[in-house]
């Protein structure tokens, strides 16, 4: 049944002038929860979707209607959307906020986890759009808000699948924006930076002691909680900044806000070699390279006849100080080159940063 038909059958619904908003992923303490509270505080009629109603204890007291919804299930999506349309007669704004984090070395994350990430962050978002957009298109009005991430602009090591899913959500939103504009439906990407929520707490990352990345485990764990580190924007502040922008007559196509948001956005414009150089140092892949080189050198030293000589008190071994002169020459050369690159890269990085700012400002004002 179309939204128009529902409204005709229930005339009282058409008289309710409140903006009807459906927000997914509203478990207590997360971004969705605070977006729902802020929409309600601004006079909207809010339906807050949660996977389990137990995760939305205080919503009713805030005049928010809780709906059970799992975005990975077509039946659940259809039931929830039908419920909202039957209750309110229409959906003016859909906020696709539900999402999961996925952390781990890209070649070691298990396939089920990759599927779950894309099924939630991309297919689930698409499923919601496909369920809600037709009624908006019939009414020639509506706003779809897709919560992406600054990771969708520029990734770091260890979150490749999460970043890929968010980049996909951004690209899908861009296509939807152009395809739905003729029907009067707007599409907005909200790209949060680091916001305090349950995102890292909901992570189910399995440590594998046999991993080739075992020595990088502290760096991987640190990346899992990076968005929640000191300086993370509070969820309520995020909602207070974003919601008024979404309720404007013509919301911007992209709203980027939160801790590290601008720097991550700017990183996109920095040449990959320089970006990789800094991210490798910040997120532990440089240290991993050094650890691996050291292990290789130790193994080569152990096999080297000259160092064996030292072990047995021989003169040759003593002269070489126990280190094989032929051990890992590649690591030695690469280490010197990297040091040179580090020194040389500072002015290059400064120039690139100025260039990136110029490009960013130019593209910002050109939109």
Ligand X SMILES: NC(=O)c1ccc[n+]([C@@H]2O[C@H](COP(=O)([O-])OP(=O)(O)OC[C@H]3O[C@@H](n4cnc5c(N)ncnc54)[C@H](OP(=O)(O)O)[C@@H]3O)[C@@H](O)[C@H]2O)c1
At its nearest, how many Å lie between ligand X and the CB of residue 72? 4
Candidate segments 187-195, 217-225, 265-273, 328-336, binder of ligand X by CB under 6 A: 187-195
For residues 16 and 1, what is the distance between their CA atoms, to the nearest angstrom?
20
Annotate each residue in 75-104 with x if it binds ligand X (CB under 6 A) or - if it does not, as one string: ----------------------xxxx----
At its nearest, how many Å lie between ligand X and the CB of residue 37? 13
- Residue 173 touches ligand X, criterion: CB under 6 A: no
- Residue 163 touches ligand X, criterion: CB under 6 A: no
What Cα–Cα distance (Å) separates residue 133 from each residue in 10, 49, 136? 21, 17, 5
Nearest residue (CB) to ligand X, 99 versus 251: 99
Chain centroid to Cα 349, Å, comes to 25
Look at the block and give the residue holding tokens 């990297």.
Answer: 338
Nearest residue (CB) to ligand X, 264 versus 320: 264
- Residue 338 touches ligand X, criterion: CB under 6 A: no
Annotate each residue in 123-162 with x if it binds ligand X (CB under 6 A) or - if it does not, as one string: -x----------------------x-x-------------
Is residue 243 within 8 A of residue 145, CB to CB? The reply is no
The DSSP-derived string for 132-163 is HHHHHHHHT-EEEEEE--GGGTS--TT-HHHH
Q: Tell me phi and psi for residue 328, to 5 degrees.
A: 45, 60
- Residue 270 touches ligand X, criterion: CB under 6 A: no
What Cα–Cα distance (Å) separates residue 270 from each residue in 155, 157, 173, 263, 265? 12, 16, 24, 10, 10
**Which residues have a catalytic role annotated?**
162, 166
The residue number whose beta carbon is nearest to ligand X equals: 99
Where does the chain have alpha helices with state H? 3-9, 11-15, 31-41, 74-88, 111-118, 125-139, 160-180, 217-224, 235-246, 261-267, 272-282, 285-303, 305-311, 315-319, 329-366
At its nearest, how many Å lie between ligand X and the CB of residue 220? 17
Among 19, 117, 120, 328, binds ligand X (CB under 6 A): 120
At its nearest, how many Å lie between ligand X and the CB of residue 176? 16
At its nearest, how many Å lie between ligand X and the CB of residue 119? 7
Nearest residue (CB) to ligand X, 191 versus 327: 191
Alpha-carbon dihedral sign for residues 103, 105, 108, 114: positive
- Residue 172 touches ligand X, criterion: CB under 6 A: no
Q: Say which DSSP state 227 is in.
A: G
Annotate each residue in 215-244 with x if it binds ligand X (CB under 6 A) or - if it does not, as one string: ------------x-----------------
Q: Tell me phi and psi for residue 132, to 5 degrees.
A: -100, -35
Residue closest to 258 by CA, chosen among 241, 244, 270, 246: 241
Candidate segments 14-22, 68-76, 290-298, 341-349, binder of ligand X by CB under 6 A: 68-76
What does R_g of the chain's alpha carbons equal in angstroms?
26
Among 31, 84, 220, 279, binds ligand X (CB under 6 A): 31
For residues 51 and 72, what is the distance between their CA atoms, to the nearest angstrom?
10
Nearest residue (CB) to ligand X, 227 versus 320: 227
**Where does this chain bind ligand X (CB under 6 A)?**
24-27, 30-32, 51-52, 55, 69-72, 97-100, 120, 124, 147, 149, 192, 194-195, 197-199, 202, 227
């Amino acid at each position: 049944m179309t939204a128009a038909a529902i409204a005709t059958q229930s005339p009282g619904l058409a008289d309710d002038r409140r903006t009807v908003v459906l927000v997914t992923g509203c478990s207590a303490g997360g971004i969705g929860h605070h977006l729902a509270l802020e929409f309600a505080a601004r006079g909207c009629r809010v339906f807050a979707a949660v996977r389990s109603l137990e995760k939305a204890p205080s919503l009713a007291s805030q005049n928010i209607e809780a709906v059970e919804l799992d975005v990975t299930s077509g039946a659940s999506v259809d039931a929830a959307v039908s419920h909202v349309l039957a209750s309110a007669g229409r959906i003016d704004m859909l906020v696709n906020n539900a999402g999961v984090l996925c952390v781990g070395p890209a070649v070691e994350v298990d396939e089920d986890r990759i599927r779950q990430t894309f099924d939630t962050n991309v297919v689930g978002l698409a499923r919601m759009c496909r369920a809600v957009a037709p009624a908006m298109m019939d009414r020639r009005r509506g706003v779809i808000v897709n919560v992406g991430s600054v990771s969708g602009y520029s990734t770091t090591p260890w979150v490749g699948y999460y970043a890929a899913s968010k980049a996909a959500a951004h690209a899908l939103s861009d296509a939807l924006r152009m395809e739905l504009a003729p029907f009067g439906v707007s599409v907005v990407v909200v790209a949060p930076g680091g916001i305090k929520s349950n995102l890292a707490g909901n992570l189910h990352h399995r440590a594998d002691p046999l991993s080739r990345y075992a020595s990088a485990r502290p760096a991987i764990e640190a990346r899992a909680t990076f968005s929640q580190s000191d300086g993370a924007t509070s969820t309520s502040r995020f909602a207070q900044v974003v919601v008024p922008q979404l309720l404007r007559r013509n919301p911007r196509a992209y709203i980027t806000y939160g801790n590290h948001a601008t720097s991550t956005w700017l990183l996109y414009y920095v040449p990959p070699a320089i970006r990789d150089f800094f991210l490798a140092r910040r997120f532990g892949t440089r240290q991993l390279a050094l650890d691996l080189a050291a292990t290789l050198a130790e193994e080569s030293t152990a096999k080297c006849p000259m160092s064996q000589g030292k072990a047995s008190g021989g003169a040759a071994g003593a002269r070489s100080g126990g280190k094989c002169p032929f051990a890992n020459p590649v690591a030695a050369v690469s280490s010197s080159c990297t040091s040179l690159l580090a020194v040389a890269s500072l002015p290059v990085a400064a120039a690139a940063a100025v260039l990136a700012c110029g490009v960013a400002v130019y593209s910002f004002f050109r939109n």
